[in-house]
Structures are given as C-alpha cells and as structure tokens.
Amino acid sequence: MDTDFAQRRRRDLIVAAVFAVIAALVPLFVKDVYVQNIMVLTLMYAALSQSWNILSGYCGQISLGHALYFGLGAYTTALLFTKFGVLPWFGMLGGGLISAVIAMALGYPCFRLRGHYFVIATIVIAETALLLFQNWDWAGAALGIDIPVRGDSWLKFQFARSKLPYFYFALVLACIAWFVTWWLEDSKWGYWWRAVKDNPDAAESLGVVVFNSKMGAAAVSAFLTAIGGSFYAQFVSYIDPESVMGFQFSLLMALPAVLGGIGTLWGPVLGAVILIPLTELTRSFIGGSGRGVDLIVYGTLIVLISLARPEGLVGLFSPRRKETAR
C-alpha cells in the first residue's frame, strides 16, 4: 500500500500504546470501587465488540448471536473448574478453542445464507443454545453455577478483595483484541474480508475463497469472544444461562462497534468508552427512581447516531479515515 497508509498504521499503533499506558495508570488515581467496576466492564466490552467487529464489521456477516460464544467461554471455564478442578487459564483456552470449532461447524451451513436469513439464523442458534443450557441439569440448568471464591490467587484467577487484577486482565484482553484487528487489517485476510463484505460475487470471481475467509473470521471472532466470556465468569463468579447467553449480550457486543464505527479499528473502543459508562451511570443515577429511563436514553442514542452518523462516531475524529475504513 501507499506510504500514507503505512504511516497511518504506525500512528495507530503508537496512539494505542499511549492509550494503553494511560489506562494502566488510571487505577493509581481512581480508587473508587464503583468506578473501577465500570472501567473493567468498559474494557471488557471494548474487547468483545472488537472481536464481534472482525466477523460482522470487517467480513460483513452480521451476527446477533455472539452471546453463544461468550456463554460457551463462561460455561467451559466455570464447569471445568467446579466439576474437575481445572484451572481457569486452561478453561479459558479450552473455551476459546471450543467456540472457534463450533463457530466453524455452524458457519459451514450458515455462511450459505445471506442478509436477514443469516442474521435470524445467528439469533435462533444462540437462543437454542440458551434453552438447552437452561434445561441442562448437570450444568446447573436455569440456576447456573456458583464459582467458589477462596481468597486472592492469580493461579485460580479469582480475587475477592480487589478489582485491580481484573482491570489489568481486561486491559490486556482489550489490547490483544485491538492488536489482532490491527494486524489482520493489513493481512491477506483483512483484504479478503473487506472484499467479501463489499461484494461477495466480485470477490469470488477475483479468486478470493469467500467461504474460507468467512470461516476464518468466524473462528478468530468466536475465539476472542469466548475468552471475554471466561473472563466475565471469573469476574462475577456466578453465571446462569440468561446472564451470559441472553440476547442482550449479543446486542451489547454489537452496539459499541455500531456506534463507534463498524468495520473500523477504533470504532469498538470509542463506542465502548462512550456507551458503557453512560449505560452504567444512567442505570444507577436515574434507573433507581424511574425504571426504564436507562433504556430510553440508550435507545434514543442508538437511533440518533445510526441516523446521523451511519459511518460511526470515529468519523468525527478523522474525516480521512472514512475512505479507508470502509
């Protein structure tokens, strides 16, 4: 590519490093547990949305069923730990691999579908998994799983007293998801995905193996999403099907990317930084007195941004990026 593009990529990398360092320093000044909690969630959603963006944004296969992979990650870690004593780190890796394999197994029939047929298939599959988990007695059925917390331990990745270890792990996860996206953007896969998104038929005729590139995007996306799910299970130490596999999660993963800028490198991060604190704050400040206000604020924001800024909020920061981003 031209030097302009190479320059932008270098600049992106530097900006990301600076942001990561600043973020890492924030807990030194912010001791409030409530605020730290919001920061952990923001980083987690940034990571999740970045992962979702790989399949839905770059490759254009809109999934509204990513809660499936999130839930699989959470359940694999929690089940392996509570039933067999397997450390969460292995559970995390296992959950990621299982999700990647399942994503490809589901992708095999689903990637033939286009448009709304595909979107509905992703919703329906995640809902089916949700119902099965709700009826699966061994996995705790609808009541879910309580992960016993016995003091602070990096080995078992559980911390009762401080949120900080979770914060740093979430930061690392967000950085990894960002870096993977950054790296893929300029790889063979990145170009294939954008070609598949813009015009699958044309891409096919130019020698892009459309099917394989969709499968690749699904596997990477599902793997990273499941790692986020494993993290969440450790963070909240209690999971049930509705809270890790519900449709809201699929939506919550997609929204930061949609608002920030779908198919862009910075969109998910920007979207999460705006959306998650806003949601949490409206929920705790207004939510208590008048139920549903958080939903009203949230929904209005979605409608306004999607109508006024279809390319996402990143467009506000760098008008030049609009051309390359799509």
Partner 1 sequence: MTAETIIQSLASGLLMGLLYGLIAAGLALIFGLMDVVNFAHGEFLMIAMYATFFLFAFFAVDPLLSAPLVAAALFVFGAVVYLLIVRFAVRAKANAGMVQIFSTFGLAIVMRGLAQYFFTPDYRSITHSWLGGKTVSIVGIFLPVPQLFGALTAILAFVALYFFINRTDFGRALEATREDAGAVALVGIDKNRVFALGWGLGAALVGLAGAIMAIFFYVYPDVGASFALIAYVTVALGGFGSVFGAFAGGLIVGLVEASTALILPPSLKSVGIYAVYLLVVFIRPRGLFGSL
Interface positions, 234-253, toward partner 1 (CB under 8 A):
247, 251
User: Cα 318 vs. chain centroid, distance in angstroms?
Assistant: 24
Closest approach of Cβ 192 to partner 1, in Å?
A: 19
Instruction: Give the whole-angstrom CA distance, residue 151 versus residue 138.
Output: 26
Handedness of CA 229, 61, 53, 121 (dihedral sign): negative
Instruction: Give the whole-angstrom CA distance, residue 284 versus residue 26.
Output: 22
Tokens matching residue 71: 């839930």
Tokens matching residue 48: 């999740």
Residue 160 CB neighbours (<10 A): 10
Between 95 and 263, name the residue whose CB sits nearer to partner 1.
263
Between 30 and 119, name the residue whose CB sits nearer to partner 1.
119
Interface positions, 128-187, toward partner 1 (CB under 8 A):
128, 131-132, 134-135
Q: How many residues bind partner 1 (CB under 8 A)?
A: 48
**Exposure of 103 by Cβ count < 10 A (0-12 exposed, 13-18 middle, 19+ buried)?**
buried
Closest approach of Cβ 174 to partner 1, in Å?
A: 23
Closest approach of Cβ 88 to partner 1, in Å?
A: 30
Q: Binding of partner 1 at residue 320 (CB under 8 A)?
A: no
Instruction: Give the whole-angstrom CA distance, residue 19 versus residue 23.
Output: 6
Among 296, 316, 317, 320, binds partner 1 (CB under 8 A): 296
Per-residue contact track with partner 1, 51 to 70, x per CB under 8 A? -----------x--------
Q: Binding of partner 1 at residue 292 (CB under 8 A)?
A: yes
Closest approach of Cβ 25 to partner 1, in Å?
A: 34
Among 79, 262, 272, 273, binds partner 1 (CB under 8 A): 262
H/E/C letters for each residue in 175-197?
HHHHHHHHHHHCCHHHHHHHHHH
User: Cα 295 vs. chain centroid, distance in angstroms?
Assistant: 21
Closest approach of Cβ 18 to partner 1, in Å?
A: 28
Interface positions, 85-124, toward partner 1 (CB under 8 A):
109, 112-117, 119-121, 123-124
Please report where in the chains the tokens 């963006």 appear, as a residue.
53
Closest approach of Cβ 253 to partner 1, in Å?
A: 13
Helix (H, G, I), strand (E, B) or coil at 145: strand
Helix (H, G, I), strand (E, B) or coil at 58: helix
Among 85, 207, 288, 290, binds partner 1 (CB under 8 A): 290
Residue 148 CB neighbours (<10 A): 10
Interface positions, 196-235, toward partner 1 (CB under 8 A):
none
Q: Binding of partner 1 at residue 82 (CB under 8 A)?
A: no
Between 40 and 255, name the residue whose CB sits nearer to partner 1.
255
Q: Binding of partner 1 at residue 274 (CB under 8 A)?
A: no
Beta bridge partners of 77: none
Closest approach of Cβ 228 to partner 1, in Å?
A: 21
Instruction: Give the whole-angstrom CA distance, residue 65 versus residue 315.
Output: 27
**Exposure of 303 by Cβ count < 10 A (0-12 exposed, 13-18 middle, 19+ buried)?**
exposed
**Residues 299/307, Cβ–Cβ less than 8 Å:** no
Q: Binding of partner 1 at residue 284 (CB under 8 A)?
A: no
**Residues 171/46, Cβ–Cβ less than 8 Å:** no
Among 9, 20, 93, 127, binds partner 1 (CB under 8 A): 127
Q: Binding of partner 1 at residue 316 (CB under 8 A)?
A: no
Q: Binding of partner 1 at residue 306 (CB under 8 A)?
A: yes
Applying CB under 8 A, the residues found at the interface with partner 1 are: 62, 109, 112-117, 119-121, 123-125, 127-128, 131-132, 134-135, 247, 251, 255, 258, 262-263, 290-304, 306-307, 310-312, 322, 326
